[in-house]
Amino acid sequence: MTETIRLPKSAPSGIQRIADMLRLLEGTLPIQRRIVRTGDSVYQAGQAFGCLYVVNSGFFKMVNLSDEGREQVVGLHFKGDWLGLDGIAAGHYGCDAVAMDTGEVWAIRYDALLKAALGAPALLTALHEAMSRELVRDHDSLLSLCTLPADARVAGFLRYWADALAQRGLRTDQITLHMTRAEIGNYLGMTLESVSRGLSRLARCDVIHFIEKGRRDIRIPKVEALTSFIQHLMAPMEAAALH
Amino acid sequence: MTETIRLPKSAPSGIQRIADMLRLLEGTLPIQRRIVRTGDSVYQAGQAFGCLYVVNSGFFKMVNLSDEGREQVVGLHFKGDWLGLDGIAAGHYGCDAVAMDTGEVWAIRYDALLKAALGAPALLTALHEAMSRELVRDHDSLLSLCTLPADARVAGFLRYWADALAQRGLRTDQITLHMTRAEIGNYLGMTLESVSRGLSRLARCDVIHFIEKGRRDIRIPKVEALTSFIQHLMAPMEAAALH
DNA sequence: CGTTCATTTGAGAAACCTCAAGATTGGTGG
DNA sequence: CCACCAATCTTGAGGTTTCTCAAATGAACG
């Protein structure tokens, strides 16, 4: 039995999995590379679905727009993530995919992907895992939104961001949020002022530090401290739950 | 060009699509039928992933549980929906799938599905569309949660429920919520008291009516009235948005 | 017919939002 | 290099929504 060492099963360190997937895509599919700059849309809500996009570099926000004009950031995506998955069923994209930085996406025709998948099942696995991970992420977002107070959601956001970087082999002790307070607030279901207050409180508690000149750069000495900060905030609520 | 009649492409009336899919599954895959009763779990969070489940009857809630014990209903599922999709990537299910009524699910081994899909691409389409629809639904939930006040979320919930029934060819003028106020509140990110107040207000405005004896049965004379009720609640906020 | 659970409703408290004023930053042009 | 502008961010004070707590009502079950 090869049960002794089974890490590779579902966690080849993240960075390895992403690199493998990108190589697989390059090797088996016709890919259209596309450079985007901050603010560019990869696609827009309502546009006819045809391609999926895989992030090669940069990062992206998904913006859902209601009929009445309400806007909601429903997801953030980094290297190795797939964009446009919500367009498969409806036949058109459900959100705007907006670049938050200069980056590169690989456009993959969905019909070509399906055809190629018959000969290379690993492609299917990659696609399914991408969709499944996004579902898990959405569920976690919902959990945070509904069960955590504002300050804890801010801490959770930083932890999410740090985890995303860590999975991709990047440093997490010093991160740059390429989002305004307003964008973060929209994503977290609160106002930009609440985000600002939350970050200030985190800094006051020494959980994070602002790097001088510019409050977009944040130092996180210990990522675990974010988790214990959240639990610290929840402690009074647990007490209340016991009647 | 066959552009004149292209409704069948992505909208074969819902009920037809679901019936076709169930027939397809029956015809091409080994299926394990399983009857569940109210409160039964189809699977639980953390359990090793192996099967996907398709709802044949009844309906189900997906409950996400955090490490610290916070609970969150992250989805509701009806006939034709797939359960367990969030387990594909992680190798274990992410939520508890709990029956809200007596029902039947069809267990399908994921590996068998992948194998069969090579010979019957329609299976792949069905799976992908199910995942894609769930992503769209999650994004819409997030939008409602973050941008609508409590009463509007309650109205939106009823509209969602009515739409789900309509897609399955069921009557929508009279619906029975098999959920407690507490469960609805959890799903909508509010307390059970707020749900109760929201429903009372909807009844006071004649948007809904309680059918005598038991407040689980609701009459919705006009589903469109729910939409205009939401817009009515948002009107003051739009005015504020213009500074 | 009593017990239990779900629901409704009210009153006060708390979290968060709104509004407003200053502070900081980055970019632009003199 | 410096001054200025626009955009972003911070912080405070007060208002509003929603939550919490409590009590009463209604329905379901044995």
Task: Name the H helices within A4-82.
Answer: 15-28
Residues of B within 8 A of A88 (CB-CB) are 128-129, 131-132
Question: A23 by DSSP, 3-state: which?
Answer: helix
Contact call for A143 and B91, based on CB within 8 A: no
Mean pLDDT (whole number) for A142-149: 98
- Token match 């966690």: residue? A11
Residue B83 belongs to what domain range?
7-142
Write down which residue in A80, A100, A130 finishes a domain: A130
Q: Residues A21, A111: one domain?
A: yes
Q: Residues B95, B16: one domain?
A: yes
Any domain includes A137: no
Residues of B within 8 A of A231 (CB-CB) are 68
Helices B121-147 and A110-119, axial angle in degrees (round to 10): 130
The nearest alpha carbon in chain A to B131 belongs to A131
Residues of B within 8 A of A85 (CB-CB) are 131-132, 135
- The answer, for A139 touching chain B at a CB cutoff of 8 Å, is yes
Q: Are B6 and B73 within 8 A, CB to CB?
A: no
Percent of chain A clearing pLDDT 90 (strictly above): 84
Which of these, A164, A196, A171, lies nearest to A183 by C-alpha position? A196
Provide the number of structural domains found in chain B: 2
Write down which residue in A130, A162, A185 finishes a domain: A130
Q: Residues B45, B109: one domain?
A: yes
pLDDT of residue B74 exceeding 50, the answer is yes
Q: Within 7 Å: CB of B81 and strand D?
A: no
Any domain includes A141: no
Q: Work out the end-to-end distance of chain A between its first and last CA atoms, rounded to an integer number of angstroms.
A: 50
Q: Residues A125, A155: one domain?
A: no
Q: Residues B96, B215: one domain?
A: no
Structure tokens at A55: 């992030």
Sheet holding B174-176, edge to edge: B174-176, B217-219, B209-210
Predicted local distance difference test score (pLDDT) of residue A14: 85
Q: Residues B153, B125: one domain?
A: no
What is the length of chain A?
Answer: 243
- Scanning B8-27 for CB atoms below 8 A from A yields 9-10
Predicted local distance difference test score (pLDDT) of residue A2: 44
**pLDDT tens-digit series, residues A163-215:** 999 999 998 999 998 999 999 999 999 999 999 999 999 999 999 999 877 77
Q: Residues A118, A155: one domain?
A: no
Mean pLDDT (whole number) for B190-216: 93
The residue among B3, B62, B74 with the most chain A CBs within 10 A of its CB, best to mutate, is: B74
Predicted local distance difference test score (pLDDT) of residue A1: 46
Q: Strand (E) positions, B81-207?
A: 82-83, 95-99, 103-109, 174-176
Contact call for A86 and B147, based on CB within 8 A: no
Rounded Cα–Cα distance for residues A87 and A73 (Å): 16
Any domain includes B2: no
Q: How far is CA B229 from CA B6, B104, B139, B156, B188, in A?
A: 33, 35, 22, 9, 17
Q: How far is CA B108 from CA A86, A225, B34, in A?
A: 23, 42, 11
The residue among A10, A83, A143 with the most chain B CBs within 10 A of its CB, best to mutate, is: A143
Q: Residues A113, A165: one domain?
A: no
Q: Residues B113, B222: one domain?
A: no
Q: What angle do CA B191, B134, A92 make, to 5 degrees?
A: 125
* Residue A89 belongs to domain with CATH number: 2.60.120.10
Rounded Cα–Cα distance for residues B164 and B157 (Å): 11
Q: How far is CA B182 from CA A70, B155, B191, B193, B218, in A?
A: 27, 16, 7, 8, 17
Q: Residues A89, A159: one domain?
A: no
Q: Residues A111, A165: one domain?
A: no
Residues of B within 8 A of A87 (CB-CB) are 132
Question: A104 by DSSP, 3-state: which?
Answer: strand
Rounded Cα–Cα distance for residues A123 and B131 (Å): 16
- The answer, for A131 touching chain B at a CB cutoff of 8 Å, is yes
Any domain includes B1: no
- How many CB atoms neighbour CB B16 within 10 A? 12
Q: Residues A77, A108: one domain?
A: yes
Write down which residue in B119, B142, B165 finishes a domain: B142
Percent of chain A clearing pLDDT 70 (strictly above): 93
* Residue B190 belongs to domain with CATH number: 1.10.10.10
Predicted local distance difference test score (pLDDT) of residue A216: 83
Predicted local distance difference test score (pLDDT) of residue A196: 97
The residue among B131, B230, B237 with the most chain A CBs within 10 A of its CB, best to mutate, is: B131
Q: Within 7 Å: CB of A180 and strand D?
A: yes
